[in-house]
Amino acid sequence: MKYRQLGRSALSVSELCLGTMNFGPRTSESDSFEILNQSVNAGINFIDTANQYGGDLGVGATEKILGRWLAEDKSRREHIVLATKAHEPMSDDINDNGLSARHIQMACDASLKRLGVEHIDLYQMHHIDRSAPIEEIWQAMDRLISQGKITYVGSSNFPGWAIARANEKAIARQRLGLISEQSLYNLVERRVELEVLPACREYGLGLIPWSPLAGGLLAGGGDASTGRRQSAEMQKDVAERREQLSQFDRLCRELGESPSAIALSWLLHQRGVAATIIGPASAEQLKSVLQVPDIRLDSPTLEQLDEIFPPCGEAPEAYAW
């Protein structure tokens, strides 16, 4: 496994970040434990979750699974960078969502209890809350840091202007500010290149792409057997991009790697990306991508990928002079 600093912080994280959204609703607890064990054995030290994950099992179920795994061996906590998120509704209570100072404090305390830990390494805002003043947010985050409950703060699904605003306010308070942004980013969906990725580079945030395989679209034709391509929406996407995906599959065969591996590796070749999330539903899926940090794509290959999946460019040059 290879490691990178998370943004401008001194924190080192594995280039593959284990996403846990499948744990519980799609992957059983025992299988989740197997994936976690194999991940740490492979050198993955970055584990990402969210307080809302749980699907049909209910919000918080995934954090509880992680908590039970951590409880099996207390030493595990010392070796992982644990990240979770807050923002999404946790109940029907009108104040049990968003980024009010009240909800941030309560959500953090609840996550700590479910995870069975004393602190969270990276506490992320799951989505921008346009009703919450950034001063209120930083007041709550500063309190959590002073209480020893969180160490670093990150954002997720923030636009470029919100990243700039948050860090300018942090600078004014003589605080570190955001160190990471978790965004939708893959070969098919490249709009973060317009403003989000440039903002991350300017302010020293490490970008953590989610949905790196575009929901399975970039996983290759063989993924159809798993059922991920069986939905009507996915079938429509495949049909609309058939030629593009065929070109991608041919290039991957020439490179001797799976489409999944190349799609993940491509992200790690983008300046500003700190780690890419992988969300295996089984140990087999995990094993199939562990070699990704060792894949090196040369300039001609990267240019071919840009020809197949055109970049967005940076704003405003992408749409103006």
CATH classification of the domain holding 191 = 3.20.20.100
CA distance 238 to 42: 33
- State residue 136's pLDDT score: 98
At 64, is the pLDDT very low, low, confident or very high (cuts 50, 70, 90)?
very high
Q: Which residues pair with 82 in a beta bridge?
A: 47
- State residue 84's pLDDT score: 98
Mean pLDDT across the chain = 96
Whether 314 is in a domain gets the answer no
Whether 128 is in a domain gets the answer yes
At 223, is the pLDDT very low, low, confident or very high (cuts 50, 70, 90)?
very low
Whether 316 is in a domain gets the answer no
Whether 320 is in a domain gets the answer no
Other CB atoms within a 10 A radius of the CB of residue 297 amount to: 17
Other CB atoms within a 10 A radius of the CB of residue 148 amount to: 9
The answer to which of 216-225, 252-261, 273-282, 311-320 has the lowest mean pLDDT is 216-225
Closest among 75, 16, 20, 74 to 45, alpha carbons compared = 16
The answer to whether 87 and 127 are in contact (CB under 8 A) is yes
Whether 111 is in a domain gets the answer yes
At 220, is the pLDDT very low, low, confident or very high (cuts 50, 70, 90)?
confident
Element (H, E) at 77: helix 76-79
The answer to whether 285 and 292 are in contact (CB under 8 A) is no
- State residue 234's pLDDT score: 87
Is 176 exposed, middle or buried, given 0-12, 13-18 or 19+ CB atoms closer than 10 A?
Answer: middle
From residue 272, give the alpha-carbon distance in Å to each of 5, 7, 14, 16, 243: 10, 8, 15, 15, 30
Q: What whole-number percentage of the chain has pLDDT above 70?
A: 97
224, pLDDT greater than 70: no
At 60, is the pLDDT very low, low, confident or very high (cuts 50, 70, 90)?
very high
State the total domains in the chain.
1
Tens digits of residue pLDDT in 90-119: 999 999 999 999 999 999 999 999 999 999
- State residue 235's pLDDT score: 87
- Expressed as residue numbers, the domain containing 7 is 3-308
Closest among 309, 298, 301 to 193, alpha carbons compared = 309
Q: Name the residues annotated as catalytic.
A: 53
**Which residues contact residue 94 at a Cβ distance below 8 angstroms, ignoring those fewer than 6 apart?**
none
Whether 321 is in a domain gets the answer no
Tens digits of residue pLDDT in 146-200: 999 999 999 999 999 999 999 999 999 999 999 999 999 999 999 999 999 999 9
| pTM for the model | 0.95
At 225, is the pLDDT very low, low, confident or very high (cuts 50, 70, 90)?
very low
Backbone torsions φ then ψ of 70, nearest 5 degrees? -65, -35
Whether 315 is in a domain gets the answer no
- State residue 229's pLDDT score: 58
